[in-house]
Structure 1
Amino acid sequence: MEFAEGVPCWVDVMLPDVEGGKRFYGELFGWTFDEGAGEGYGNYVQASLGGEPVAALAPKRDGRMPTAWTVYLAAPDAAALAGRIGRAGGQMIMDPMPVGPFGTMGLAADPEGAVFGLWQAGTHQGFGRQREPGSFCWTELYARDKDAVDPFYEGVFGYGGQDVGDLEEDFRIWSPAGATTGPESAIGGRALMGDDFPVEMPPHFLNYFVVTDCDAAVATARRLGGRVRDEPVDTPYGRISVLVDNQGAAFAVLQEPDQA
């Protein structure tokens, strides 16, 4: 697959126990795992589904690092994109750096501090499968100040934005630059963190994975030592639930309407 600038192209999770993560996600999503990229690449372990790459697990090298999933946005020119991020009020946590022949990666934060990655493809393009059971399908930014983040993302990446929420929910979807703006082309969205979110929770991205049965996935996650942050609920886009794995990393699962 080739990914236009700003389109989610990869996800990974930083965990204190990668072997424990392999057991959890292997059973939950049916992933298999390679032997790891070795110490020179941070012992990065790639997850596959049907022989195609879908995600990766990485060991935390520092206990102060968050146990969390990170979404990577495609960057045909990561250095140029990093410059635009800084000029727009964001910051680079890690400047773009080559990762052997695989590509170039960077880590950035938006004006509110929500972290996302940049990926300039080399031999590793990104997802080999997506938007099918066991793979990534969507990312959402949970922000507190839309006036700070909407212009940032739409300016840096050229996203076309469209408000689709109602009076009770302020939600905006983003489509890639040059695409017709709307649900059919949307690659992510922005939600606002209301009073139901703890005040100490920082702005963040939440990544979604497709499952064939949301309730069964929730039951499996519980059995494997995870917990449920938001119980399953039906939406116009499918049945969703927000989960936390057995080590504390949050993610969401989506059962698409035609699978209900």
Structure 2
Amino acid sequence: MPTRDSAWPQGTPCWVDCQVDDTGKAREFYANLFGWEVMDSPADSGGYLMALRNGKPAAGIGPKPEGMPMPSAWTTYFAAGSADDIAGKVTAAGGQVFMPPFDVMDVGRMFVAADPTGGVFGVWEAKAHTGAGIYNEHGAYCWNELHTLGYQAAQDFYRKVYGWTYNEIGDGANFIYSTFTPGGDPAGGIMDASKTGQDMSYWLTWFQYDDVDAALARAAELGATVMMGPDDSPFGRMGVLRAPQGEVFGVIDTNVTVGEPPTGT
């Protein structure tokens, strides 16, 4: 069971949470789907809920910010040694910081931003809360990828902000995709979504699920919509879901693979 108790390296996906209209309904949905134990946070936390998997922090569930109309969504957070430093780099690279970095009690410092192609992400400077304590495990996030309408612009932006390097694994025509590396192993992916009929850029969170067919069936019973799958791939058997309140996420069983992974152009 991959676990972590220290802060994640800068530029690495370190946390995921969803913003919804009704946190109570989201708690029930995800607890039933992923087996999470969803804990209440302190009274001054604004109604934020912490989801645990095997006793380790797995994800958050929070209410949408007041006065900021937005769809329900999952947000990927990237680790930062200094949120203020990364906020400056985001602005300099052409991104948008929605509000200046702010402290979240004693647990961390954060902000939410958008890259120049419209992909929204969070930045987390760890303090008491170091980020996900469990990952790459059934019921925990295992991959984060940007579906972008501006592939090269997105790569350039994150390279300037976080120093990512890229490995192109697509065919360069029908499937344009790269993995990104903050340092060490690949930490996520960027996909050119301009030819897929999508009308916006967004970060997609993937959760490991040891039986994707069962996941899609169970999610549908709980009121979700199956948007894609189940489909086999060299990376795992996968599906994409829209939860009852509208947030989109993926489920993948990386233990079930079909075919050889692409090696790039």
* Counterpart code for 1:94: M
| Cα displacement string for residues 39-87 of structure 1 (whole angstroms, at most 9, x for unaligned residues) | x322100000111110011112347122000010001111011111111
1:163 pairs, out of 168, 172, 175, with: 168
Within the alignment, does 1:104 sit opposite 2:102 as a pair? Answer: no
* Counterpart code for 1:7: T
2:29 pairs, out of 4, 24, 39, with: 24
Matches within 5 A, 1:227-238: 227-238=225-236
Aligned twin of 1:92: 97
Q: Distance in 1 between matches of 2:132 and 2:68?
A: 28
Within the alignment, does 1:52 sit opposite 2:50 as a pair? Answer: no
Matches within 5 A, 1:242-253: 242-253=240-251
Q: Do the aligned partners of 2:78 and 2:123 also contact (CA within 8 Å) in 1?
A: yes
Percent identical pairs in the alignment equals 37
Q: Do the aligned partners of 2:237 and 2:256 also contact (CA within 8 Å) in 1?
A: no
* Counterpart code for 2:220: R
Q: Do the aligned partners of 2:90 and 2:97 also contact (CA within 8 Å) in 1?
A: yes
SS at match of 1:169: coil
Q: Distance in 2 between matches of 1:211 and 1:58?
A: 23
2:224 pairs, out of 209, 226, 229, with: 226
Within the alignment, does 1:213 sit opposite 2:218 as a pair? Answer: no
Matches within 5 A, 1:68-83: 68-83=73-88
2:132 pairs, out of 122, 127, 137, with: 127
Q: Distance in 2 between matches of 1:130 and 1:25?
A: 16
SS at match of 2:40: coil
> Runs of 5+ in structure 2 lacking a partner?
259-265
Q: Distance in 1 between matches of 2:216 and 2:53?
A: 20
* Counterpart code for 2:196: D
TM-score, normalised to structure 1, is 0.93
Q: Distance in 1 between matches of 2:160 and 2:69?
A: 32
Q: Distance in 1 between matches of 2:125 and 2:194?
A: 34
Q: Distance in 1 between matches of 2:33 and 2:99?
A: 31
Shift in Å, 1:26: 0.3
Shift in Å, 1:148: 1.1
Q: Distance in 2 between matches of 1:71 and 1:119?
A: 10
1:3 pairs, out of 8, 16, 35, with: 8
* Counterpart code for 1:106: F
Within the alignment, does 1:192 sit opposite 2:192 as a pair? Answer: yes
Q: Do the aligned partners of 1:213 and 1:259 also contact (CA within 8 Å) in 2?
A: no
Aligned twin of 2:150: 145
Cα RMSD (Å): 1.5
Q: Distance in 2 between matches of 1:18 and 1:70?
A: 15
Aligned residue-pair number:
251
SS at match of 1:94: coil
Q: Do the aligned partners of 1:141 and 1:206 also contact (CA within 8 Å) in 2?
A: yes
Q: Distance in 1 between matches of 2:113 and 2:227?
A: 26
Shift in Å, 1:20: 0.8
* Counterpart code for 2:114: A
Q: Do the aligned partners of 1:212 and 1:259 also contact (CA within 8 Å) in 2?
A: no
Q: Distance in 2 between matches of 1:86 and 1:94?
A: 11
Shift in Å, 1:235: 1.0
Q: Do the aligned partners of 1:238 and 1:256 also contact (CA within 8 Å) in 2?
A: yes
Aligned twin of 1:172: 178
